[in-house]
Structure 1
Amino acid sequence: MMNEDGTMAQRRELELFAEKHGIRVGTIADLIHYRNLYDTTIEQIDLKTVNTAFGDFRLHTYKDNISDCVHYALALGDIAEHEPCLVRVQVVNTLRDLFNTTRPGFSDTWSLKDSMQHIAEKGRGVVVLVGQEFNQAEELNQVIHFPDVPPVQRHSNEAGAYRVIGTGSQILRNVGVGKMRLLSSPTRFNAISGFDLEVVEFIEKNT
């Protein structure tokens, strides 16, 4: 919808137009909220307590109804919708997550181990691991060329990034998260309010 001067109408202008003509306005967050209620793309298939180097965590396992990926959430402590809790969401990376490897210049990012340890120290939080689809050649190529070549991310384009955010958000809501203290550098997330999620704090690794 365009304004009279040819510019794109923004939300406030759309709301005024809708009020004038007696029509309703739906936001992207509204659409996401509806789809999250009635058209989720993940399904929890298992829940068990697992013993880790950082204590007992609840392991939630999900299958993806769009791809062949499996996703995981590790939760510790009482997760309440209205109480902020520590959250880390990341795409699975075999070298980083299994062997705790680091690439030069990336020591200030949260690893799986770092995230679990920090959550264990604080007593409450969730780590979400979003699965990727890889074939044998792609995974071997990552190992052979590590650390010179950055790992391939199936979700590196804009559509893929939104898919990761959507998948992670659905999992967080399923686990019971509402307000998040996000283990991450400050980042803008569009329309996560549609999942009834709110970032109340960003926690960088070296703070």
Structure 2
Amino acid sequence: MSTFKTHCPVVKRTTETFTEFVTVGGERRRMTFEKDIVWIQESETKRLFRHGGEVLKEGSTTTDYYGYLTSFRDENESSERSMQFYGITPESSLELVLMTTIRLSPATETAETLEHNRKKLPDYKAQYADVPNDWRQEVVADGETLWPYLQPIKLAQEVVWSSKNTPEQNEALEQEFTRKWQVSPEARETASA
């Protein structure tokens, strides 16, 4: 099982039922089991070039590598350089935006990750394990049984910066988005318990 580290908060815990298909004695068998899942709230920001509201080109993507909701912070300077490079002004029909997605990503804990998290210093990243793709969930859709793997859940997708806005408008957008999606320390403690 591969592991990863993150500063992003765990906001809920669930117990999920999975199915794994295993080969026993040359025969493929279905095995059902339950596992505890942690849901990590994180953001990802894409730089988009739009014309008339339609995306013409996707630019770079940033993540919460430095902590929750850092995917769009400090992108203003880089966005302004892109505006200069492409000749974009607030009056241009071409618009550069930063589009941020908030999602809950599933993960699991192992003896190794629990030990890491128990010993780590408070400001260090927590460690979790990816949910293996061969852990499938049984879903019946339109009378057909499907076996998808556990997917992240998209909570929101919003523009947090636009070349059409003034610096003050962009600052207000960023502050409002941060206020709306900030995770309280109490929510983090409850989910960690």
Give the TM-score taking structure 1 as reference length: 0.22
Q: Which structure has the bigger radius of gyration?
A: 2
Give the structure with the larger helix fraction.
1
TM-score, normalised with respect to structure 2: 0.24
The structure with the greater share of residues assigned to strand is 2
